[in-house]
Structure 1
Amino acid sequence: MPSSSQTVIRPLPSAASGIEPMFARTTRTFARHFHDQFGIGVVLSGAQRSASGRGPVEAVRGDIITVNPGEVHDGAPIGGQVRTWAMLYFDPERIGEIALDLSDERSAGLELAHPVRTDPAAASLFRKAFRSLVRGQEQDAMMETLILLVNRLAVRGAGSLQGNSTPIGLRRAQQAIDDDPTTPHSLASLASIADVGRFHLI
């Protein structure tokens, strides 16, 4: 964890297993990376520019920011200024539970649809859920808020969380090409990166 006086990246206690609250305040530029979890957050101050699975985006104070597992992204402050944000990182199994709730038990698959979104109602739901998780408030009310939040941000049925991560895998294969476009990538190696068969990749 960075120790610069300009940087605070702090995991916070959580009242629910499989959901990790995090607070960050920094001028740091983050290199491309990905998480194994879903992430939903709000920019609290400042602004940032980042790559995402859907191209370059910018987020300013009040915007919702999201990331899917395996989605390659980075982040840099706009104008070199400090920006702060809060995030909730969800294990895929927890999102799968919410997806089942939203689909009346028909599907455990969903995808967060927008890497950046201006949505004051979603931001308000996020803040309420974040406070509840950190303060250990009543579980049913917290889960209701989380379900409403995910419902506003997700596209359901975008891949099963029970082992079929095709949309995420295909983005990884695309990222491998984008990261090194001059190298000839074999179909077999890209299919392996995407974790799908060659026919499916084509």
Structure 2
Amino acid sequence: MLFRRVSQAPPALAVLLLTAAALAGCDSAPGPSEGPSVIVPGNPGEPNRTLSARDAAAQRKEDDTPNSADVRYAQMMIEHHEQALRMTRLAPERAGSEAVRRLAERISAAQRPEIDAMRSWLKSNGKSATAGPHDLHSMPGMATEAQLARLGAAKGAAFDALFLSLMITHHSGAIDMAAEVKAQGNSIAVEEMADDVIAQQTAEITRMRQMQ
């Protein structure tokens, strides 16, 4: 009986097999699209954690539960916006400049829908739209009743100057509140609302300073 030795694979076939194996290995390796690692701060007394960009995004998406900072922001910003509307309602009859009247209209048009959105968000989360008395006194940028009375009594150029001064301070306070909730809150919806406040009111502050 004759026996034949089984020959080895031809060199060309061996190269193809090695190339296929290498490509398969590349497919299993983490891709660069995952992005850099993300440092996640730990709770007090706990170390920070390092997560991949994909894991960090997934964790944030899964954990969108509003916290007390989110609720407090929405409640306070409703009151903050409503005072701004109280000031803008005076402009049509008391402003001396058409530019100030148009500015007041833009502020009103931007903030009314934001109030509605925050009220709707609070209602959907089973929260009251009313801020606590302590929160109302601690809001930055709010005009005092005496300042509002002076604004209501002013007319023409005097109204314009006081309106711009009070509204710049008022907008600056709103931006501070928005920046704070972005750092302390957990709701993506609230963060997006805060981003809108920062963008809109920063632009309006620039415009108002140019008008002074």
TM, length-normalised to structure 1: 0.25
Q: Which has the higher strand share?
A: 1
